[in-house]
Amino acid sequence: MRLSRGKKKTAKPGKDGELERSRAIAPTLEAVYPNARLVRVQLDFICESLPHHAQQAFLLHPPAKAHFAYPCPFGDCTGIYNLQESIARMLTAAVTNDAGSLTCTGLRARQGVPGQPCEQVMNYTVAVQYAQPVTSTRRVAGAVASR
C-alpha cells in the first residue's frame, strides 16, 4: 500500500478518499473486459467477536467501474481489501468462479488502544457471467438435447 505524502487533497481523507480516487480513474468493465456480462462479488467477514459484520454483495454490470477494492467494515480501520488483481486475473482468463480470503492489513483501535493491526479476515467469492463461452467447445450440429 502506498503511503500518502500529505499533499492537500480535496477528496475525503483516509480510505474512503483513496477508494473514491482509485474508483474515479478506473475504466469501465465493458471497456476492459467486453466479454464480462455480470460480476458478482460476495464478501463474508469472519468475526472473532460480536457485533458481526453483515455480508456484502456487489453486482457489477458492464457500465460499472472495473474497480474491486472494498473498505474494511470497521469504521475506524484504515484497511482496504484489494481484490483488483485476483478479479482482473479471472476476467482476463475468463474464469467463472473464484474464492479466497484476505486479512485486513489496516490499523484500528482495539480494546482502547489505537493503531493496532486489524487482521479482520474476509472470505470472498466471485462469480462472473460472460457473453459467450470462451472455451471453444465445438458443438456437433444436431446434438442439442430435444425436449
The CA-based angle 63-65-71, given to 5 degrees, is: 140
Stretch that binds Zn ion, among 3-11, 103-111, 122-130, 132-140 (CB under 5 A): 103-111
Q: Are 45 and 85 in contact (CB under 8 A)?
A: no
Residue closer to Zn ion (CB basis): 15 or 67: 15
Residues in contact with Zn ion, total (CB under 5 A)? 8
- Amino acid present at 81: Y
118 binds Zn ion (CB under 5 A): yes
Which residues have C-beta within 8 Å of that of residue 112, sequence separation ≥ 6? none
71 binds Zn ion (CB under 5 A): no
Instruction: Give residues in contact with Zn ion (CB under 5 A).
Output: 72, 74, 77, 79, 104, 106, 118, 120
